[in-house]
Amino acid sequence: MGHISENILSLRQELPSGVELVAVSKFKSEEEIMEAYGAGQRVFGESRPQELKEKAESMPKDIEWHFIGHLQSNKIKMTVPYVKLIHSVDSPKLFNEISSWCDRNGYSVDVLLELHIASEESKQGFSEEEVSDFLKGMQEAPAHVRIRGVMGMASLTDDEAVVRREFAHLNSVFDRIAALRLPYLDRFDLKSFGMTNDYRIAVEMGSNMVRIGTRIFGPRGVRI
């Protein structure tokens, strides 16, 4: 058995039931992805529309693709047809564009709202206030886009206490949104927190969906 399938199997052993593993396959070859597939993995995450499209068109149809990267409006049409879930809806504008594209073209998609935490330099994503204003301001349920939960990243730091605090915060934002009991959030249940370096802490703090690349496929950009 190769390293990739061993890694998949050991992650499955390690992750509590109820935590979905998204195998992040960006920059990885179809051959590498097929090794994970052979170990039973069906959910894969990609971050570039063109790469996603090519893989989705040529790989087995029972793969569930997730989009996890920054999505530009002009790439919506190249992405939505291939994915079950977009993790990275980071503005009302992007949400509305996805929603109207789906209405016009007869597609449906699930999305997560990407949260940014105060201490991060990156301004990508919703603050808690923005997300709650956005949701409360929604006039009606979007016909073809279902908001399934939130995605968030902790700071890149070795300080475990900081990471722990940030995931706790993201988790509490999720709880407060869920507590709004908005009618169009009837399946608001996903918390996509945690990657190779911090998924253990993320899961401890309440994540139920982890996005893991390096721990499965090895470092990106290194040919083995």
For ligand PLP, which is the closer residue by CB, 26 or 165?
A: 26
Rounded distance between C-alpha atoms, residue 179 and residue 181, angstroms = 5
Helix, strand or coil for residue 81?
Answer: helix
- What six digits make up the tokens of 65? 């693709």
For ligand PLP, which is the closer residue by CB, 53 or 66?
A: 66
**Sole binder of ligand PLP in the list 11, 19, 68, 102 (CB under 6 A):** 68
Residues 34-53 close enough to bind ligand PLP by CB under 6 A: 47
Whether 147 and 189 have beta carbons less than 8 Å apart is answered as: no
- The verdict on 211 binding ligand PLP (CB under 6 A) reads yes
- 154 burial level (CB within 10 Å; 0-12, 13-18, 19+): buried
Contact string 87-126 vs ligand PLP (x = CB under 6 A): ----------------------------------------
For ligand PLP, which is the closer residue by CB, 135 or 216?
A: 216
Part in contact with ligand PLP (CB under 6 A); list of ranges 78-86, 103-111, 180-188, 189-197: 189-197
Give residue 129's region: left, alpha or beta (phi > 0; psi -120 to 50).
alpha
Instruction: Please report, as a single letter, which amino acid is at residue 34.
Output: M
**Sole binder of ligand PLP in the list 125, 149, 152, 213 (CB under 6 A):** 213
Candidates 135, 152, 130, 137; CA nearest to 186 is 135
For ligand PLP, which is the closer residue by CB, 76 or 212?
A: 212
> Residues interacting with ligand PLP, by CB under 6 A?
24, 26, 47, 68-69, 195-197, 211-215
